[in-house]
Chain A
């Protein structure tokens, strides 16, 4: 046993030696049993220190399982490396390379054997054997095969180009669809802003950016229908579904959900509603527009909604007293045409918001 530790053993264990020092140390280990014992002593001493300084700490059961699973998975994917004998390490690769070179040379200089050519499938002519070192003029069959290969290569290139073009067109189409949706949305908002202020346009006043910005800022947003209080759609084949005396439900012209764009111009105290998918109501019924002011618990009737077109779309403007703030709620209900109530009838709301 050594009297004292070789400092290199400690540094070797902690992986602090540079490549040269490490090689020299390992070489000494290989030839000197005393060096190996000294290393083992040092390893045991440092491990003892580490184990006492850092006592075992159990993993949580879940972590333990997860780690073991990962380790076993890695173990299954990468088998443990077998030690390679030093002799094979030194001479194995040069020998293998030399053997491969000899085999390649033999293969290169060996004449082709007709037996080696596989039989063609039934119905096809037998393939013409390709003879090495022959010019096309000497072997027309070889030229034909080469032509066929060139043609195939050309077709492959054309196919790749077509694929590329198809992908480009598809991307363009998708971009167009996205752009159109964006434009539709912007047009809807701009149309609402213009129509809310027809008086300004009639007076020839040009609306500046501030006015436009104000219009954007005062826009309450989309008014959508509330499914909870929307009346059920009428079943045309089953008129008995409508209870006698009850308000007939509106007929929805399209399957889309009713919604509306609502804009309010504070300067003109005028509101504008651009609506879509509103239902068609019977002749004795009308669609009434209501607004609720900030701080008020009641609705104020601001007029009848213009009968929508075949698609249930249309627009309506309504004035409010000068200085009125934007309404906090907009409501469209179905009411009897000649007996509009003071407050909206419950259960007949078509659109409510924002």
Chain B
């Protein structure tokens, strides 16, 4: 069984996309790996806003965010052949590349937006979903407890290690691991599909 077919039978996926769309994404990345720049344009049009949303959450400076979006798609182009469908959907792959690009840029000297904010805010305050999100979108996040969400945010958007998260939340590392594990387990229930 080839990788694409394996991925098609995969049991979990990001809920925003149906199976046909996910299959389209995989085909686009295959075309990217074959060197088709047209596929790059299509993928960019599909995911530019998504990637921009992720990097804007990490980077304060809009100019930095724009450059991170650019970095992301250049990496996507260069690493297209390294994409393994059996290890995750294209959207998840893009999300991680975007996150890495933004954190790289933040570490290179740009401001880390969450660094001080996270240390100043209480866990409950950090865990509040953004006010402008539609209710349907935030529905899944409300299933996470405040510490679970804060730990995930610090890990994903601020690039903190578990030890750093423990210091920021003023809790032992073991608790942080529990928050992350339980939070991820809840999220897994959301994304799991039974074929």
Measured in the bound complex, the distance between the Cα atoms of B155 and A45 in whole Å is 14
B171 at the interface (CB under 8 A from A): no
The verdict on A54 contacting B86 (CB below 8 Å), with A45-B190, A59-B48, A64-B48 known, is no
Candidate in A7, A63, A67 with the most chain B CB atoms within 10 angstroms: A67
A67 close to B69 (CB less than 8 A): yes
Option from B37, B48, B88 in Cβ contact (under 8 Å) with A76: B37
Measured in the bound complex, the distance between the Cα atoms of B157 and A184 in whole Å is 65
B122 at the interface (CB under 8 A from A): no
The verdict on A47 contacting B70 (CB below 8 Å), with A67-B48, A68-B44 known, is no
Total number of residue pairs linking A and B with CB closer than 8 Å: 190
Interface residue total, chain A, C-beta cutoff 8 A = 52
* CB proximity to B under 8 Å, residues A266-316: none
Contacts of A42 in B (CB 8 A): 184, 188
Option from B78, B79, B92, B138 in Cβ contact (under 8 Å) with A52: B138
A1 close to B57 (CB less than 8 A): no
B185 at the interface (CB under 8 A from A): yes
Contacts of B155 in A (CB 8 A): 10, 14
Candidate in B11, B54, B84 with the most chain A CB atoms within 10 angstroms: B54
* CB proximity to B under 8 Å, residues A14-73: 14-16, 29, 33, 36-37, 39-59, 63-64, 66-68, 70-72
Option from A29, A53, A68 in Cβ contact (under 8 Å) with B41: A68
**B47 CB → nearest A CB, Å:** 9
Interface of B, secondary structure class, is: helix
A1 close to B141 (CB less than 8 A): no
A36 close to B86 (CB less than 8 A): yes
A338 at the interface (CB under 8 A from B): no
Measured in the bound complex, the distance between the Cα atoms of B161 and A15 in whole Å is 10
B87 close to A36 (CB less than 8 A): yes
Measured in the bound complex, the distance between the Cα atoms of B15 and A151 in whole Å is 78
Option from B10, B52, B77, B79 in Cβ contact (under 8 Å) with A71: B77
9 contacts between A and B (CB under 8 A): A1-B192, A14-B99, A37-B11, A44-B14, A49-B187, A50-B99, A58-B52, A70-B74, A79-B35
